[in-house]
Amino acid sequence: MTVLAASHVKHVRSVVQRGMQPGSGLAGDPIVNSWIRCLNEYSLDPDNCDEPVIIGHVELQERQARLADVQEVAKIEMANLYQQLAGSGYAIMLMDCDGVLLNYFGDPSFTHAASKTGLMQGAVWSERLQGTNGMGTCLVEKKPIIVHQNEHYLLRNIGISCAAAPICNHRGDVLAVLDASGESRLAQQHTLALVNMSVQMIENRVFLQQFHREYIVRFHNRPEFVGTLSEGAIAFDSAGTILAATRCAQFQLGVRSPAEIYGRNITELFNVSLPGLLDSSLKKAFHPTPIFEVRSGARYFAVIYPPEPTPGASRLLTVKHDSGKPASTQRSALDELHFGDLTMLNNVQATKRVLERDVAIILCGETGTGKEMYAKATHLSGSRSQQPFVAINCASIPESLIESELFGYKSGAFTGASKDGQRGKIFQANGGTLFLDEIGDMPMSLQARLLRVLEEREVTPLGADKPVKLDIRLISATHCDLQEKIAQNLFREDLYYRLLGLTVTLPALRERTDRHGLIKHLLLKEAGDEVVEIDDALLAVFDHHRWPGNIRQMRHLLRTMIALREGDLLTACDLPNGFYTGPLPTAGCGDCAGASEEARNPLENAERDALIQELEQHNWNITTLAKQLKMSRNTLYRKMRRLDVKDLDKISL
Ligand SMILES: Nc1ncnc2c1ncn2[C@@H]1O[C@H](COP(=O)(O)OP(=O)(O)OP(=O)(O)O)[C@@H](O)[C@H]1O
């Protein structure tokens, strides 16, 4: 036994002995309790060197399938967490409630060490087999924990530091554990804080997905926090009975155990009934409305979302509109825009509620997230679908022409004007929908005119003397922050409030949890009559891409891949050159390996030679070279991967 081994074993034994003595002050310490279990219950030797047990591929797949709901959401959060910790040598892992490691996202600098320790997919990291460790001990303790270096029970694990937190369902049962492990020499409290946030995100999303066929009330004591990570969510059946509540909901309501509220009626908890809250949510176009807790009188702000329609069911909601007609729940053009993403689902549900009302809609989102498509789908889903849909891009028309484009002119209104005159776009949209894209770029002078048109509901074409009555649904879109523009005096506040009815924020492609469904849908559309499929490994590669151009970029990429493909199953090999030059690291993805020498072009070969030369000059020290090249370590790793530079033995941090 080495000196280190002997001293670790001695230390463990003496702490266990002291910990078991009453009044030692060690009782209650989760690490000491775990060491006591390891020695006395599991009869583990601290210097046991057995490799972790690795389960077979079939069993792994079965376990992954059993936890599919959690996994689907967790994978996205793991990628987010990985990005936040990228470059600090961490691996992010998900284990099931038996301690089996289901998913692994590894920082390249840690993966090498991790595989030596046995941190890999399929490995069993239960406390019984692996002694005190982040994932295994978290499962036993059922609460977040840091197990830092020599707090590990087994000598073979003392090189790693783990931060782990349990993922629970609404009853408090542990479903899985999320863990971030690395070789950090410091116990990272902030890593545990990030892991906890990811867990909260996963729990909330799993909850919303699980209860999407019920009424969901989302609330917080500050209105701007509804829809954020810290909101509470409660699921109700149609009679208003509480079925389930998230951890945050229980925390905000000061509930110690879910049993305290499950089975009770909404009226016993809040001063509202289900139809009452539904009505005020509808009236306020799904902006939070105040409600009060019956017991304490505490004020919260809440929004209620009705059940998602069951596929195939022609009519599910019985909510009445003011008009007295039941809300249509038939599949509409809006429903075609999402494939299960909750943000999109909420967007669509909210939009459907205002379809037949005079509520303006503002669409926000990055370029290519589908704002125009959403506007068209909104138009097609309502009773104006047979009327014109007129789109105008306020950023692409020269300022001098916007006025005539929008408002039109009479014959001979100005020099060069057509002698027949022109009906402006606003007038062309009469009876239908006017879509004002990039509204933030509309010149100030025209904003005043537009405001007047919207207020007065009539338009006077340039040079005409009589105004024309208007009936339009207005949808505007912007990728910029209109509030900021108002602060800079570039956008009129009064116009903003006139445009502001329902704000729909379209998620970026990288944030969408229904990416796979959307990609397959785009593939179907792009492939036309041909049958082209996509393999799972390629979908996984796409999951780790940043998609700065969003759906537009994805659509174009698929179009190119379909054209260049060798067979009818698209794989990572069909990706065009340069795909990996995007800014997101491709965590733990075996398919992302750099191109072979034959596949590289001369420019890439030259870049590779130059990079190797630089690495040699910096003794393969990634940190110093990244600093020298003024890029992040991740960018450097990505570049190395892309150019197939991988001399792992030489690399130092
Ligand atoms: N749900 C969807 N299904 C299929 N294709 C979509 C979907 N959403 C968007 N697209 C496609 O993505 C591309 C970009 O969409 P769109 O022009 O609506 O985005 P945008 O947000 O208005 O972009 P920009 O801000 O650059 O004007 C279009 O080719 C559109 O057909």
Domain segments of the chain as ranges: 57-192, 211-305, 335-505, 510-592, 593-653
pLDDT of the residue at 651: 45
Q: Which of 373, 554, 558, 559 to mutate to test the pocket of ligand 1 (most atoms within 8 A of CB)?
A: 373
Ligand 1 atom closest to the Cα of residue 373 is 18
**pLDDT bracket for residue 313 (50, 70, 90):** very low
Highest mean pLDDT among 99-113, 358-372, 525-539: 358-372
Instruction: Report the CATH superfamily, name and number, of domain 335-505.
Output: P-loop containing nucleotide triphosphate hydrolases (3.40.50.300)
pLDDT band at 309 (very low <50, low <70, confident <90, very high): low
With beta carbons less than 8 A apart as the criterion, state whether 240 and 246 touch: no
SS (H, E, C) 81-119: HHHHHCCCCEEEEEEECCCEEEEEEECHHHHHHHHHHCC
236 pLDDT above the threshold of 90: yes
For ligand 1, atom 24: residue with the closest CA:
367
Q: What integer pLDDT is reported at residue 329 of this predicted model?
A: 38
Q: How far is the CA of 439 from the centre of ligand 1 (A)?
A: 17
Q: What is the mean pLDDT of residues 426-431?
A: 85
Backbone φ and ψ of 417, nearest 5°: -70, 145
Pick the CATH number of 593-653 from 3.30.70, 3.90.79, 3.40.50, 1.10.10: 1.10.10
367 touches ligand 1 (CB under 6 Å): yes
Please give the residue that has the higher pLDDT: either 29 or 188.
Answer: 29
Ligand 1 atom with the smallest distance to the CA of 554 is: 12
486 sits in which H/E element: helix 482-487
Q: Whose CA is nearest to atom 8 of ligand 1?
A: 370
Beta bridge partner(s), residue 103: 94
Residue nearest atom 5 of ligand 1, based on CA coordinates: 522
* pLDDT for the residue numbered 315: 29
Banded pLDDT at 540 (limits 50, 70, 90) = confident
* Fold of the domain spanning 57-192: Beta-Lactamase (3.30.450)
Give me the pLDDT at residue 244, please.
96
Q: How far is the CA of 556 from the centre of ligand 1 (A)?
A: 11
Tokens 């009424």, residue located: 215
Q: For the domain bounded by 211-305, which CATH number is listed?
A: 3.30.450
CA 352 to centroid of ligand 1, rounded, Å:
20
What confidence tier does 598 reach under pLDDT thresholds 50, 70, 90?
Answer: low
Q: Which pTM was predicted?
A: 0.52
57-192 and 593-653 share one fold: no
Largest CA distance in the chain: 101
553 CA distance to ligand 1 centroid (A)? 9
Rounded to the nearest angstrom, the distance between the alpha carbon of 368 and the centre of ligand 1 is 5
Residues 6+ apart with CB under 8 A from 62: none
- Residue 552: partners with Cβ closer than 8 Å, 6 or more residues away: 367, 368
Contacts of 202 (CB under 8 A, 6+ apart): 70, 73, 74, 77, 167, 178
Residue of 372, 437, 475, 480 with the most ligand 1 atoms within 8 Å of its CB, for mutation: 372
Averaged over 316-321, what is the pLDDT?
Answer: 32
- Under the banding of pLDDT at 50, 70 and 90, the label for residue 310 is low
Class of 510-592 per CATH?
A: mainly alpha
**pLDDT at residue 535 above 60?**
yes
Distance from residue 551's CA to the centre of ligand 1 (Å):
6
> Whose C-alpha lies nearest to ligand 1, atom 13?
552
CB of 337 closer than 6 angstroms to any ligand 1 atom = yes
- Tell me the sheet residues that pair with 219: 232, 302
Check if 479 has its Cβ closer than 6 Å to any atom of ligand 1. Answer: yes
Give me the interface pTM, i.e. the ipTM. Answer: 0.98
pLDDT of residue 430: 86
Which of the pair, 528 or 170, is modelled with greater confidence?
170
- Using the atom order of ligand 1, give the atom closest to the CA of residue 479: 25
- 372 CB less than 6 Å from ligand 1? yes
C-alpha count within 13 angstroms, C-beta hemisphere, residue 619: 3
- Ligand 1 proximity of 369 Cβ (cutoff 6 Å): yes
Residue 631 has pLDDT above 60, yes or no: yes
CA of 539 to the centre of ligand 1 (A): 20
The answer to whether the CB of 520 is under 6 A from ligand 1 is: no
For residues 262 and 622, the model is more confident at: 262
Q: Whose CA is nearest to atom 31 of ligand 1?
A: 373
Burial class (CB in 10 A: 0-12, 13-18, 19+), 185: exposed
Q: Are 442 and 454 in contact (CB under 8 A)?
A: no
| Ligand 1 neighbour 551 (Cβ under 6 A) | yes
